[in-house]
A = this chain, B = another copy of it.
């Protein structure tokens, strides 16, 4: 029997709060998705002005980061022609995202969920995802 640790809704809200505060700071309204360790959605918010395409993209980034236990920008680095991983962005019906902005959420070295941001540049999305994780880790202590 396996014992799994998984973000609860309160955890997800902390992640979204930290990410959205950073998004407000940089002036980019975002779509923010938090998923559990299996990649299924726990919470989502589209800030007023977030892009419609980003509703799905944010979820796909979070899904990828959690369910593959890897940041989407790490997949991005490997997703270049000639690399044996090239083409992975089309997997899982295109849900596997190789666009920066999806990060796994770890507790005690274990992936318990993922966070995905979309609407800014990939770097902005990554920064806000990290801000969500920073806030989550700070508030949990």
Contact = CB atoms under 8 A, between A and B. Distances in A.
Interface of A: 1-9, 11-12, 36-48, 51-57, 60, 63-64, 66-69, 73, 75-76, 79-94, 96-100, 107, 112, 121-123, 126
A84 B102 CA distance: 11
Contact of A38 (B40, B76, B82, B98): B40
Contacts of A123: 84
Nearest to A88: B99
A37 B37 CA distance: 12
Question: How many copies of the polypeptide does the oligomer hold?
Answer: 4
Nearest to A64: B53
Contacts of A12: 45
Given A1-B11, A52-B68, A80-B86, 4 more contacts: A12-B45, A42-B45, A43-B44, A84-B126
Contacts of A54: 68
A94 B90 CA distance: 5
B52 A46 contact: no
Nearest to A48: B8
A107 B1 contact: yes
10 contacts: A1-B11, A4-B5, A9-B48, A40-B55, A41-B44, A43-B46, A51-B68, A57-B92, A89-B89, A94-B94
Given A5-B1, A52-B40, A68-B53, A97 B91 contact: yes
